[in-house]
Structures are given as C-alpha cells and as structure tokens.
C-alpha cells in the first residue's frame, strides 16, 4: 500500500474544531503539511486556527471554513473554492462525527438518520467532492476515514453508530482497491476510547445522563481513554507506513484479532458487555 508523507501535502481535516480533528491538524502542521480545515462549529474551528498560529504554524493553514458535511451542495461548493484557490488535495482526512447510542425500543428514526447522515454520508460527500480531482491530478495521495471500534464489534447499544461506522468501513475496503490504480492509499482508523468532547455529548437515548451510575460509567471510560493527541499520532503513523487499518489503542487491536481467530470468546465478551451495560444504564437490567 502507498506510503504517504505529510511534508508539503495539502491536507483536508474535517472535524478540526475539537478532539481528534484538532489534534490531527496540529500533527499534520508539525510534519510540514498545508492545512484545509473545516468543522460545523465556527468557534471551535477559530480556536484551532488560533492555537496553530500560537504554535508558529500560521503559514500552514491554507484555508479554513465552517461547514456542515451533511449538506452535499455545501461540500461541493467548498471543494470548488479549494480547487480554485489552491489545488487538488493530497490527503483527505474524514474525522468529523457524532455518536448516538440506545436500545432499539427507545430509538426513533431521527436518531438513526442523523447518525448515518453525519458519520457515513458526511464522509461520502467529502470523498465525492474531493477524490475525483485527486484522481485527475495523477499525483497519488491518501484518503483517511475515521471509523470506530463500533465499526468492528457489536458493542452494546451502538446500533445507529455501528450502522454508520460499519458502512464507512465497507466503503473504505472497496476504495482501498479501487484507488490503488491511481496511487491513492486508503486508511481506515478504528479508535477505541478517546478522551474527546464526544464523550460528554454522546446521545444515549432513554438514559438520564445525570444518573450517578451513568456518571460513574463515563468516568471509567475517560480513565481508560487515550488522549486525542495519541490517537492522532497513531493515525498519522499508519498513513505514513502505508497501513490500511489503524488502531489507536492495543485493546482494539486485541479485540479485532479475537473476533477473527477466537469467535467463541468474542461472543462471550460481547454478551458480558451487553449485560453490564443493561445493569449500569437501565434499572433492573431490563
């Protein structure tokens, strides 16, 4: 698979206003990349740009603009501006995302649609707008899609999130081979627990986030989580080394191998996780 260097590479990072996206922007700048940054939150995006400038990377930010990746027309218009003012991208990094959890009896269709729109159609809109120009430029490049451990495993209550993240995994698997003919690599990133603002904003449908049991579970999650900076570094190293699948923590790599080679043990682990989630989040484990 293609190895990619970020030095002087024109690199798009979505979700750059916080968390892994912000950390990724800093890591790309540290490596000499030129940045095109976007996020739904204009204030968060401005804060990222300010931090980059304070770190001496003001010349690394080629363009930044608030954008809703679920708006296909807006993404196409943004791509047109990037291509007109700059050039076709060298690297596309789809980091933006949301998370929605819940039991199927509690979820409404709007929860499913919103999660799929952001986490699956959002990256598809971005790739549709930017990758054809990369192909036409004939300079090669790289596409990075941030999936999740929920794109690998049947984690409890994750059905909407997994619907999107498994879908993104499938798209990435196809493009891994389709784009190889154009010297464009594809890396699928599968983070586990990462200490980002998403932890505090995840929508757990049917659950009272103020419940002390829930707060305790979130605290355990955060203590186990890796930092956004560590996750971003793992992602960039995978791209530089030409790896298709990237993990941000050893436990997800272990689970991936267990699922493939010890399916009986994987099944037991998922059942136990589900029981634990019901016990913690729902009275009486109903």
Radius of gyration of the chain measured on its C-alpha atoms: 19
Domains and CATH numbers, the chain: 10-252 (3.40.50.720)
Active site residues: 161
Q: pLDDT: is 82 or 221 the higher one?
A: 82
Express each pLDDT in 125-174 by its tens digit: 999 999 999 999 999 999 999 999 999 999 998 999 999 999 999 999 99
Task: Report, as an integer, the average pLDDT of 173-200.
Answer: 88
CA distances from 147 to 84, 208, 242 (A): 30, 27, 17
Residue 63 has pLDDT above 70, yes or no: yes
Cα 66 from Cα 200, distance rounded (Å): 22
Task: Report, as an integer, the average pLDDT of 103-113.
Answer: 95
Residue 145's nearest CA partner among 172, 170, 164 is 172
**3-class state of residue 72 by DSSP:** helix
What phi and psi values does residue 89 have, to the nearest 5 degrees?
A: -70, 155
**3-class state of residue 65 by DSSP:** strand
Whole-number mean pLDDT of the chain? 91
Q: Cα dihedral sign for 228, 230, 235, 237?
A: positive
Residue 1 has pLDDT above 90, yes or no: no
């Amino acid at each position: 698979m293609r190895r990619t260097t970020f030095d002087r590479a024109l690199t798009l990072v979505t979700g750059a206003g916080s968390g892994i996206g912000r950390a990724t922007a800093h890591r790309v700048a540290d490596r000499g990349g030129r940045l095109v940054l976007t996020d739904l939150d204009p204030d968060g995006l401005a804060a990222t740009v300010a931090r980059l400038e304070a770190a001496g990377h003001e010349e690394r930010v080629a363009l930044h603009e608030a954008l809703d990746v679920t708006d296909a027309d807006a993404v196409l218009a943004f791509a047109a501006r990037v291509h007109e003012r700059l050039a076709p991208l060298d690297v596309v990094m789809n980091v933006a995302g949301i998370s929605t959890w819940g039991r199927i009896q509690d979820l409404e269709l709007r929860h499913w649609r919103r999660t799929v729109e952001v986490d699956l159609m959002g990256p598809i809109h971005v790739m549709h707008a930017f990758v054809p120009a990369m192909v036409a430029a004939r300079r090669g490049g790289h596409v990075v899609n941030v999936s999740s451990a929920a794109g690998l495993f049947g984690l409890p209550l994750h059905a909407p999130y997994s619907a999107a993240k498994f879908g993104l995994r499938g798209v990435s698997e196809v493009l891994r081979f389709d784009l190889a003919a154009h010297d464009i690599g594809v890396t699928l990133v599968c983070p586990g627990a990462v200490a980002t603002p998403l932890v505090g904003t995840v929508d757990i449908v049917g659950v009272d986030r103020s419940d002390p049991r829930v707060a305790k579970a979130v605290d355990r999650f955060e203590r186990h989580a890796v930092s956004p900076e560590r996750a971003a570094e793992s992602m960039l190293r995978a791209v530089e080394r030409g790896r298709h699948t990237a993990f941000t923590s050893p436990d997800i790599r272990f689970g991936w191998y267990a699922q493939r080679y010890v399916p009986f043990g994987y099944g037991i682990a998922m059942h136990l996780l589900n029981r634990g989630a019901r016990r913690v989040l729902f009275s009486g484990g109903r």
